Structure 1
């Protein structure tokens, strides 16, 4: 899919002025503007609804603004917004999605350039200069394992340890984590990374599954003893429900930036701007309670000061096809 490039859409004059205010004056102006808008804020998102619902509920309780949502895969969210935008439809107001997909929307000029006092609190490297989408959470790839299938003392300490024959027919990975793999290549070198993982798959095989939630659930059930690319928030959620699952983090730790944005042609710009602020401010502790890594430096990260290498959304979008070909060649075709 080809995407146009260019600057983001400018906010309507009145909401643009309101966003540039500070303190209580800013909030008051946005609230007053939201009172003149009708209907619910429509949110398209890729994160599981049960994880975002606490944020939606708290937002509605504070402002009296109702939220309606539609959840699908990150790719489907992008395709629907682009299709509606090209058709002139104004269904969606607000989007939450992976940052490479947000970059695709930005290039289509579908996102609004935002101003927010909460930008100052974001962790370094999580906000682009364009200010058209901002990181709300960081999905860190962890290695989840079934505690009945994998002994603690046999856990790998490095990715290189996965080439040991003890891991034969015990490894699983998500089907489309090419951005994770591409970032590994950037970190350790392409030749070294492709050789290592080719050797791992040749020696031990690889169970390839579509969906990070599915992969985590298969680890919990024991069908996949160790899942190499599960998102950090899912294993603790499953463990809290009694599942036989735990997790480790092999270095380099890779993080996918998950972001929020306001649609350029929203008919509810004031309400959407309030929700944008809420995600980056009061919503951060609520997301942390769901085991997400908050983007705000004011809310502790479960990883503390551990170094995390972020997937670059621009690079991930630009190199999507070559990275996917490399990924499939190693993990899918070689695995047949």
Structure 2
């Protein structure tokens, strides 16, 4: 939380002694995690970054299990719901950074437990070899078409997959409208994937299913850029979330961790997210394809508050278990 004029000098002196950093991340390794680590190491040649990658729930679970065992190896963590889970468990601490000044109030935690890393907007991905653009679903009701029965897949992740899909609809429509729809959707036999949304996208790319539901639109765009037969369509209101980055309660490399947080929040770090075709959270760094965001993309988005997601996770996960598992 230190903000004195010698802050950067202190961080550099400490980081040069610490040398290492361990980062638990939800970002795709070749798309974002590896370029971000490389960019940080280029800026600070004395730094060595290691990362472990999983979805938000698994990242949070791993950190909590280690802390319960008395192990304090990880320095920083990120994810959509990770910060809320770890704050509730008491194993992250508030931090500040001069880079946070550039962000609007709604993009950062007033208590300092997380900073905005990047933006996520969820969409339907479809295999362009199997589905024509004009046939792709454009509304939630379109998912009820009999042609999609047994041909869709989604992640079981409570913080980004099927449970959050249900929660987004309940929040947007109210239970009176959402529950009958959910009952009908359950008849479509959506395949559950006990892994990340990226794994679901891979199933779409490989032609195992026609549609992937609740998929990060930037990951679809990145796969399409690399030649994969895949495209995306938004279903309004689109589920929108921040990926949030946090500092552990007992980081073994605190000075290096603070330098890394500064870097991630800076325009320099956010530009690497942009180059990786992610959606930067920084208000002055746009996405490579502006259509990934609501305004230029012409779609309506509904941001889910992390505290609300944590509060409702069990309820939404129970509903998902009852209807779809």
TM-score by length of 2: 0.88
Which residue does the alignment assign to 1:12? Answer: none
Deviation at 1:123, TM superposition (A): 5.1
Which residue does the alignment assign to 2:192? Answer: 208
Match of 2:212 among 223, 227, 244: 227
Which residue does the alignment assign to 1:77? Answer: 59
Deviation at 1:246, TM superposition (A): 0.7
Q: Does the 8 A contact of 1:235 with 1:247 survive in 2?
A: yes
Which residue does the alignment assign to 2:74? Answer: 92
Deviation at 1:273, TM superposition (A): 0.7
RMSD: 2.0
Deviation at 1:124, TM superposition (A): 5.3
Q: Does the 8 A contact of 2:118 with 2:281 survive in 1?
A: yes
Deviation at 1:72, TM superposition (A): 3.1
Which residue does the alignment assign to 2:176? Answer: 191
Greater Rg, structure 1 or structure 2?
Answer: 1
Q: Which runs of 4+ in 1 moved over 6 A?
A: none
Match of 1:316 among 309, 317, 323: 309
Alpha-carbon spacing, 1:327–1:125, altered in 2? closer, same or farther (3 Å) = farther
What CA distance in whole angstroms lies between the structure 1 residues aligned with 2:74 and 2:154? 33
Q: Does the 8 A contact of 1:52 with 1:287 survive in 2?
A: no
Q: Does the 8 A contact of 1:123 with 1:296 survive in 2?
A: no
Deviation at 1:323, TM superposition (A): 0.7
Following superposition of structure 1 onto structure 2, how do residues 155-166 of structure 1 map, counting pairs within 5 Å? 155-166=136-147
> What whole-Å deviation, never above 9, does each CA across 1:196-222 have from its counterpart, x for those lacking one?
1321332x3322223311210111122
Deviation at 1:74, TM superposition (A): 2.7
Q: Does the 8 A contact of 2:25 with 2:33 survive in 1?
A: no
What CA distance in whole angstroms lies between the structure 2 residues aligned with 1:220 and 1:127? 35
Which residue does the alignment assign to 2:224? Answer: 239
What CA distance in whole angstroms lies between the structure 2 residues aligned with 1:166 and 1:172? 14
Verify: 1:148 aligned to 2:141, yes or no: no
> What whole-Å deviation, never above 9, does each CA across 1:7-44 have from its counterpart, x for those lacking one?
xxxxxxxxx43xx136xx54333223323x32411112
Deviation at 1:309, TM superposition (A): 1.6
Q: Does the 8 A contact of 1:232 with 1:292 survive in 2?
A: no
Deviation at 1:310, TM superposition (A): 1.8
Verify: 1:293 aligned to 2:282, yes or no: no
Match of 2:102 among 105, 121, 127: 121
| SS in structure 2 at match of 1:256 | strand
Alpha-carbon spacing, 1:95–1:300, altered in 2? closer, same or farther (3 Å) = same
Verify: 1:134 aligned to 2:120, yes or no: no
Q: Does the 8 A contact of 1:144 with 1:227 survive in 2?
A: yes
Q: Does the 8 A contact of 2:18 with 2:256 survive in 1?
A: no
Deviation at 1:166, TM superposition (A): 3.2
Q: Does the 8 A contact of 1:172 with 1:215 survive in 2?
A: yes
Which residue does the alignment assign to 2:29? Answer: 49
> What whole-Å deviation, never above 9, does each CA across 1:107-126 have from its counterpart, x for those lacking one?
22221211112223335533
TM-score by length of 1: 0.85
Verify: 1:268 aligned to 2:253, yes or no: yes
What CA distance in whole angstroms lies between the structure 2 residues aligned with 1:115 and 1:183? 31
Unpaired stretches in structure 1, ≥5 consecutive residues: 1-15
